[in-house]
Amino acid sequence: MASFSFFGTIPSSPTKASVFSLPVSVTTLPSFPRRRATRVSVSANSKKDQDRTASRRENPSTFSSKYAPNVPRSGADILVEALERQGVDVVFAYPGGASMEIHQALTRSNTIRNVLPRHEQGGIFAAEGYARSSGKPGICIATSGPGAMNLVSGLADALFDSVPLIAITGQVPRRMIGTMAFQETPVVEVTRTITKHNYLVMEVDDIPRIVREAFFLATSVRPGPVLIDVPKDVQQQFAIPNWEQPMRLPLYMSTMPKPPKVSHLEQILRLVSESKRPVLYVGGGCLNSSEELRRFVELTGIPVASTFMGLGSYPCDDEEFSLQMLGMHGTVYANYAVEYSDLLLAFGVRFDDRVTGKLEAFASRAKIVHIDIDSTEIGKNKTPHVSVCCDVQLALQGMNEVLENRRDVLDFGEWRCELNEQRLKFPLRYKTFGEEIPPQYAIQLLDELTDGKAIITTGVGQHQMWAAQFYRFKKPRQWLSSGGLGAMGFGLPAAMGAAIANPGAVVVDIDGDGSFIMNIQELATIRVENLPVKVLLINNQHLGMVLQWEDHFYAANRADSFLGDPANPEAVFPDMLLFAASCGIPAARVTRREDLREAIQTMLDTPGPFLLDVVCPHQDHVLPLIPSGGTFKDIIV
């Protein structure tokens, strides 16, 4: 019998097979009215795509308004109906004085469910989890002043990682704007540089057009966050909405990327046929092109290295072609492939500093082909030899079509064998500490017990990098993590949003004790909503990544990286099991390696939410490591 400690009561429920065919007993969740949401197109490269994306509103013949056409209604009711017409069925909204009218209108909606977070930051991270895991825009709502300011980290995170998001904020009445009224902040000015676009609604008649534009902007070309700030008196004003108002985005529409030219694609394929050591470098821009990417690899035999954001776009468990993650904490063999390649096919990437290190040394032997939908990314950090500004999906479709009609066979078997030698020589590995639990082993076990099919969220730190290294993602949108911004506290609320967007899926937040406590209040939301979110807490009582950098770059001088109780450093502090128990969530702690498998299985088998506190040693480091600004020659293994 395993000796891990258990806290809380496991609810009983009828047994139902899980999506992984594990003997998991699943709680029957309460049913909520759901509407089939409109599928989001994240690019609009043809006239047909533009028309479809621009007309996301409900077809008048199918959308049934609860109001007669000529009946006036409040601005808040117009706003809520505008969301309904965009296919929204879930919002994450926290009320306050300047947004109460919107919440009152939400109570009158028959199709939109509000999930009440316990903090606005939890709400926007949940909206991100919803969007990242589904591809549909996430919606969050907050009041003015401090409520709006609590959305700032989430907006920046969504901009960095190209997440479609609509943030709606209440604002003080128009006559009070600029007077430093109670709970007034200029949220439009504050967020101007961390949103794709934002609006201050000054006329109630503009609401239908602004909402339509916001969804179009958030989901087209390179997705991102859009903020709509609505003064309270506009919410209260009555009007008859005009749902047929055209969008006013002439400049944006004029710069929409066009389909790639066949001549450009043939030029890329000529470079492929001339190369001996090509590598695919794929990022978040390939998440919607997974099928096309797999087919391209099948046709060419080119190995694939993924960015942190691109994990899952190509199956990580395909050891013949997948090199897994490259960059600062990427595999040796992925970084070796880029270092010695003669052709780098950079698809849907931005040459981020955590990937490239020293820019001039990155892929210095290779010709570079860069395909990206965002023209501002091409040549920004690294000048390519060939560039195409278009949707990666269209480019891959076009190249696959050309390849399927060609008779010559590409053979990069010798190059792949060389890379496989590096894989065997420098596999991902970790230290062991007697009976203590290596955090990497916990993630490997989770991968095994879920067959690599769970949706994984994380906080930020060592646990995040270990999850990226040791969980073998099979599909896109399984991996939800704050990449560009690196926002601690992301994991738990993101898992909440993912569970709502994917009912029936297994959702696991692999978190660190430092990140987890930053939004721990969302345990209350998870319990109230009865969401089957599992938390695998990698608890080493430290800010692990800070400690690691102290060891490597600051002569191991400790500066506030210990999170435990200095008066009792051997104790597990704070006691996360008590936090879980206070919200009625079953929890357990495991400290010995031999008990871990049964503990993880118990977590997966338990209906509803569950917290597993995995106590780990703090001495291990995330390796490999290429120091910031370094090169492949500086790699630490």
pLDDT, tens digit, for every residue of 576-604? 999 999 999 999 999 999 999 999 999 99
Kindly tell me if the per-residue pLDDT of 26 is higher than 90: no
What pLDDT, in 10s, does the model give residues 155-166? 999 999 999 999
The rounded distance, in Å, linking the Cα atoms of 637 and 622 is 9
Q: Is residue 5 part of a domain?
A: no
Kindly tell me if the per-residue pLDDT of 277 is higher than 60: yes
Answer yes or no: is 377 a known binding residue: yes
Our answer to whether residue 236 is catalytic in this structure is: no
**Considering 136, 196, 232, 534, which one is annotated as catalytic?**
232
| 274 plus 413 within the same structural domain | yes
CB 74 within 8 A of CB 105: yes
Quick one: which H or E segment has residue 535?
strand 533-539
| 208 plus 122 within the same structural domain | yes
Answer yes or no: is 502 a known binding residue: no
The rounded distance, in Å, linking the Cα atoms of 256 and 46 is 9
The rounded distance, in Å, linking the Cα atoms of 67 and 476 is 40
**Considering 16, 32, 66, 182, which one is annotated as catalytic?**
182
The rounded distance, in Å, linking the Cα atoms of 371 and 287 is 14
Give the N- to C-terminal CA distance of the chain in Å, as an integer: 38
The rounded distance, in Å, linking the Cα atoms of 291 and 69 is 44
Answer yes or no: is 441 a known binding residue: no
CB 137 within 8 A of CB 163: no
Q: Residue 466 maps to which CATH number?
A: 3.40.50.970
Would you report the helix, strand and coil content of the chain in percent, each value rounded to 5? Answer: 40, 15, 45
**Considering 50, 183, 267, 521, which one is annotated as catalytic?**
183
Would you state the torsion angle of the CA atoms of residues 305, 311, 224, 529, taken in this order, to the nearest 10 degrees? 180
Q: Is residue 54 part of a domain?
A: no
Q: Residue 305 maps to which CATH number?
A: 3.40.50.1220
Q: Is residue 561 part of a domain?
A: yes
Residue with tokens 């540089």: 193
**Considering 84, 120, 128, 292, which one is annotated as catalytic?**
120
Beta-strand pair 238-239/367-372? unpaired
CB-count exposure of residue 631 (10 Å: 0-12, 13-18, 19+): middle
What pLDDT, in 10s, does the model give residues 202-231? 999 999 999 999 999 999 999 999 999 999
* Domain count within the chain: 3
Q: Is residue 267 part of a domain?
A: yes
| 560 plus 512 within the same structural domain | yes
Under the banding of pLDDT at 50, 70 and 90, the label for residue 42 is very low
Cβ of 328: how many Cβ atoms within 10 Å? Answer: 22
Q: Return the SS3 of 143.
A: coil
pLDDT number for residue 395: 98
Q: Return the SS3 of 141.
A: strand
Our answer to whether residue 435 is catalytic in this structure is: no
Answer yes or no: is 523 a known binding residue: no
| 414 plus 442 within the same structural domain | no
Domain boundary among 210, 226, 253: 253
Domain region containing 128: 71-253
**Considering 545, 576, 610, 632, which one is annotated as catalytic?**
545
Domain boundary among 398, 423, 448: 423
Q: Is residue 431 part of a domain?
A: no
The rounded distance, in Å, linking the Cα atoms of 391 and 221 is 8
Answer yes or no: is 242 a known binding residue: no
Residues of the chain with pLDDT > 90: what percent? Answer: 89
What pLDDT, in 10s, does the model give residues 410-423? 999 999 999 999 99
Kindly tell me if the per-residue pLDDT of 494 is higher than 70: yes
Q: How much is the average pLDDT of 479-502?
A: 98
The rounded distance, in Å, linking the Cα atoms of 53 and 216 is 6
Q: Return the SS3 of 469.
A: helix
pTM of the predicted model as reported, rounded to 2 decimal places = 0.91
Ordered DSSP codes for 548-563: HHHHHHSTT--SS-B-
Ordered DSSP codes for 364-423: TTSEEEEEES-GGGTTTSS--SEEEES-HHHHHHHHHHHHHT-------HHHHHHHHHHH
| 108 plus 243 within the same structural domain | yes
Answer yes or no: is 331 a known binding residue: yes
Q: Is residue 226 part of a domain?
A: yes
| 417 plus 445 within the same structural domain | no
Answer yes or no: is 387 a known binding residue: yes
| 249 plus 267 within the same structural domain | no
Query: Could you tell me the two tokens for 285?
Result: 């821009």
Kindly tell me if the per-residue pLDDT of 105 is higher than 60: yes
| 449 plus 540 within the same structural domain | yes
Query: Could you tell me the two tokens for 509?
Result: 């937040």
Our answer to whether residue 253 is catalytic in this structure is: no
Answer yes or no: is 344 a known binding residue: yes
| 213 plus 308 within the same structural domain | no
Q: Is residue 415 part of a domain?
A: yes
Kindly tell me if the per-residue pLDDT of 343 is higher than 80: yes
| 411 plus 462 within the same structural domain | no
Let me know the angle formed at the C-alpha of 623 by 618 and 624, rounded to the nearest 5 degrees.
Answer: 170
Q: Is residue 77 part of a domain?
A: yes
The rounded distance, in Å, linking the Cα atoms of 302 and 322 is 9
The rounded distance, in Å, linking the Cα atoms of 552 and 142 is 42
| 174 plus 276 within the same structural domain | no
Quick one: which H or E segment has residue 211?
helix 207-219
Our answer to whether residue 328 is catalytic in this structure is: no
Under the banding of pLDDT at 50, 70 and 90, the label for residue 35 is very low
Under the banding of pLDDT at 50, 70 and 90, the label for residue 8 is low
pLDDT number for residue 407: 83
Domain boundary among 253, 287, 315: 253
Our answer to whether residue 579 is catalytic in this structure is: no
| 386 plus 282 within the same structural domain | yes
